[in-house]
Amino acid sequence: MTNIKRGPIGERVLRLEDAPLLAGEGTFAADWQFPDTVHMRVVRSSVAHGDIRLIDTTIAAEIPGVHAIWTARDVADIPPIEFRATKYTGLEPYRQPVLATGRVRYVGEPVAIVFAEDEYTAEDAAALVRADIDEKPPITDATVAPGEFAGDNDTEATIIEKGYGDLEAAFDAAYDIVELELRTGRHSGVPLECRGGLARINPDSGGLEYYGATKRAHPNRDQIARTLGLDPASVDLFEGSVGGGFGIRGELYPEDFVICAAAVRFGRPVRWIEDRREHLLSANQSRQQTHRIRAAIDADGRILGIDNEFFHDQGAYLRTHGVRVPDMTAGLMLGPYEVPAYRVAGHVRLTNKTPAATYRAPGRYEGTFVRERLLDAVAGRVGIDTVEVRRRNLIPADAIPYTRPLDALEVDVVLESGDYAGLLENALDRFGWAELRNSVERRRAGGETVGAGLGFFVEKSGLGPTDKVRVDLDANGKVTVVTGAANLGQGVLTVMAQICAGTLRVDYAAIEVQHGRTDLIDEGYGSHASRTTVMTGEATRLASVALSDRLRDLAAEKLQADAADIEFGDGEARDAGSGASISFAEMVAASDDAVLSAEGRYDTTHMNYPYGLHAALVAIDRETGITTVEKFMIAYDIGCAINPMLVEGQLQGGLAQGVGGALFEEFIYDGSGQPLSSTFADYIMPGSTEVPEAEIVLTEDAPSPLNPLGIKGAGEGGINAVGAAVASAIDDALGAPGAVTELPVTPRRLMMLLNKL
């Protein structure tokens, strides 16, 4: 691996993003304003499944200030929302129309749009739009036999099948077979900022502009343009501040296309801001899967083969991501373990619920819970400790790089670096695991219901295939990094500035990072799949190196020195021999260009795979069924931490969301498809008192060989195994191996477990 000078890389410098946010100077979706704006309100179905007889807009249209009301016939020229690139075929019938056409399929589905001169008039008018719907029996359980969807298509959109090895031989040779049925509950990211945006026609250029974009500005621009029949060059998206992403924001929803179409048709700015109830009804949900898994094992608890059939509750439509979530569950299920034979069949089933898509560590939170529950069950079956069963099954360090005959995100799974057993031992030592176990036993002897558990995981990061960055140097000596990445709160400005500063030897805080705007750079891939630090970071380094090479040649020419003797520091170039120097600004002035620029592109055909261990200490109140996470420990190998403080922040934030999915958060539906979790009174999220400050062990023992800095992603490692570790700890507290089979372990579910014991 190339030896790269790290410079400020690895330092715990403060975030560049924070000052304007703390000063109240952020620009969020609701902050964009233009004169003469039309306000949009969505009329949503109150029925989970039924045929539309009539959408009556007569009374609503007569209200003063109502500009227009659209139903499906007004947007008949807008096709259903397309998928991101996917190898899976035959999914097109399951796409979502921008307004319900003929039939509604979930409570919250858009059936009409009201446009008015102010948001209050729009809301009042929307309440007067009457939807006459002939209700049909809903499907609310993805494990039942598929029903009718439309035409010749039933509610099983596809079956994701993967596998390798001789599974039958593995089960024939088994000392024992362990079988489980496991469920993960439906929940989602629920960011602080709901969805929204403002679209307008630029009066000077005549192009369409959409403000409030997040996550993937360039791909979303191209998709909006294709869908509306526009030239992508005439469409620009602008990202401001973002109040949380987590997979749920930044995907394209029906409202994004309607608001842009309305701006084109009306020739006026159009604005829509979602309220919280709308968000809980209609934004992407995730996680709901049922797994029926069995493992063939030998007498020592080593896995010979795994056979898994699971049912993925997709909700009413396939959204932008298609079937990526269950595909990742299937392709990344095996984590860090050697499994000689494997077969998986993932049934992607549609139900009359809000459509599902990605949420931080999509498919892996679910798969890790299932796999780690299986490992705990194996330990119980052969009578060994839950740590030992993992030791016996981990892929050894000398077998890495380790190629699995599987793919995920349409990329072959090659675990390119790692020492899983080394991290396990390091973490147990740093966590004081032996003393923790002794403490648990002492507390139990005193009558407390306490337990400790753990979960090992492998993440994925650095999704390719490419990324591009430009670095500019202007006449004042100011350095600007221009990228198509998105800043969703993860510290993109700081990290890219640190990487650039490490090459150009300037103060990272003096570097401006411009992001999330399609008018500033012609190509961009956004921020998703824990790719940004890997892909955009390496492209930033390459662009910075290219600019430094250009500056070195200019300085050598101006100082009459050898280029090899030129050194950078504090915004100038120096001749190491003579001590003569020239500032960056002087070099720009001496060049023929107003701005000196260089581009960097990083390409890769593989993802890389960070990994870690989560451990939890829980206490259970037997009177109330409330589980308290008293202590949580995270060990994570990041390869190379550009800013360890930001990595730790990402891990802590992921922990909070993981605790939510493990103990609190769940979208529940009744038998008629009505959502029972549409306010914060019934969708329960953990607060600061429910989430402990994590003890974090951050290691850099296994840098990725796929990029010169050895970087791996950090965005999803904090959430991945939380549910698995908490479930294991609850089992331990109850003294009942295998007791937890479903997340979240709410007080009601825990009391049911206690009553069975």
d(CA 429, CA 435): 10
Q: Check residue 3 and give its pLDDT.
A: 41
Q: Rounded to whole angstroms, how far apart are CA atoms 755 and 188?
A: 30
State the pLDDT at residue 593: 87
Please report where in the chains the tokens 């790692």 appear, as a residue. Answer: 418
* pLDDT > 70 in the chain, percent: 99
On the question of a common fold for 32-137+194-242+249-282 and 289-462+607-756, the answer reads: no
List the beta bridge partners of residue 293.
Answer: 180, 308
Long-range contact pairs involving 398-406 (C-beta distance under 8 Å, separation at least 24): 399/338, 404/164, 404/334, 405/164, 406/162, 406/164, 406/330, 406/331, 406/334, 406/342
Tell me the DSSP string of 122-158. HHHHHTT-EEEEEE------TTSPP-EEETTEESEEE
Q: Rounded distance, CA 455 to CA 1, Å?
A: 31
Handedness of CA 743, 749, 752, 757 (dihedral sign): positive
Query: Are the beta carbons of 324 and 409 closer than 8 angstroms?
Result: yes
| DSSP element (H, E) containing 452 | strand 450-458
- The highest-level CATH class for domain 289-462+607-756 is alpha beta
Asked whether residue 1 carries a pLDDT value surpassing 90, the answer given is no
What percent of the chain lies above the pLDDT cut of 90? Answer: 97
Fold of 18-26+464-603: Aldehyde Oxidoreductase; domain 4 (3.30.365)
- Please check whether residue 547 is in contact with residue 471, taking contact to mean a CB–CB distance below 8 angstroms: yes
Cα(282)–Cα(269) distance, rounded to whole angstroms?
24
What is the pLDDT at residue 7? 58
Q: Where are the domains of the chain?
A: 18-26+464-603, 32-137+194-242+249-282, 289-462+607-756
φ, ψ at 646 (rounded to 5°): -70, -35
635-655 per-position pLDDT tens digit: 999 999 999 999 999 999 999
Q: Work out the end-to-end distance of the chain between its first and last CA atoms, rounded to an integer number of angstroms.
A: 55
DSSP at 14: P
Summarize pLDDT for 384-412 with one digit per residue, the tens.
999 999 999 999 999 999 999 999 999 99
Q: Among 254, 313, 310, which residue's Cα sits nearest to residue 286?
A: 313
For residue 701, pLDDT beyond 90: yes
Mean pLDDT of 723-743: 97
Task: Give CA–CA dist 693/103, Å, rounded.
Answer: 47
Residue 221 has pLDDT above 60, yes or no: yes
Q: Which pLDDT band, with edges at 50, 70 and 90, does 5 fall under? A: very low
- pLDDT band at residue 4 using 50, 70 and 90 as cut-offs: very low
Of 3.40.50.10790, 3.90.1170.50, 1.10.260.40, 3.40.710.10, the CATH number of 32-137+194-242+249-282 is 3.90.1170.50
Report the pLDDT value the prediction gives residue 329, as an integer from 0 to 100: 98
C-alpha 633/C-alpha 615 separation (Å) is 5
Q: How far is CA 58 from CA 70, 110, 125, 132, in A?
A: 12, 18, 10, 13
One DSSP character per residue, 575-614 reads ETTT--EEEHHHHHHHSS-SSEEEEEEEE-SS-B--EEEE
Torsional class of 383: left (φ above 0), alpha (ψ -120 to 50), beta (otherwise):
left
- 90 burial level (CB within 10 Å; 0-12, 13-18, 19+): exposed
For the segment 373-384, the average pLDDT, to the nearest whole number, is 97
Please state the rounded mean pLDDT for residues 31-43: 97
| Residue-wise pLDDT tens digits, 569-600 | 999 999 999 999 999 999 999 988 889 999 99
pLDDT at 124: 98
CA pair distance 212, 200, nearest whole angstrom? 12
Nearest residue to 224 via CA among 241, 240, 207: 207
Q: How far is CA 521 from CA 469, 537, 544, in A?
A: 8, 16, 16
> pLDDT-based confidence at 8, cuts 50/70/90?
confident
Cβ-count burial of 243 within 10 angstroms (0-12 exposed, 13-18 middle, 19+ buried)?
A: middle
Distance CA 321, CA 328 (A): 12
Do 91 and 323 form a contact (C-beta atoms < 8 A)?
A: yes
Assigned token pair, 612? 């870690």
User: What's the pLDDT tens digit per position in 438-473?
Assistant: 999 999 999 999 999 999 999 999 999 999 999 999
Taking CA atoms, 645 is separated from 244, 305, 536, in Å, by 19, 40, 19
Burial-class residue 415 by CB neighbours within 10 Å (0-12, 13-18, 19+).
Answer: buried
Residue 113 to residue 41: CA distance in whole angstroms: 6
Please name the residues in contact with 302: beta carbons below 8 A apart, sequence gap of 6 or more.
Answer: 338, 392, 393
User: Exposed/middle/buried for 219, CB within 10 Å: 0-12, 13-18, 19+?
Assistant: buried
Which of 663, 665, 570 lies closest to 248 in space, CA to CA?
665
With residue 438 as reference, give the H or E element that holds it. Answer: helix 433-445
What's the whole-number average pLDDT of the chain? 96
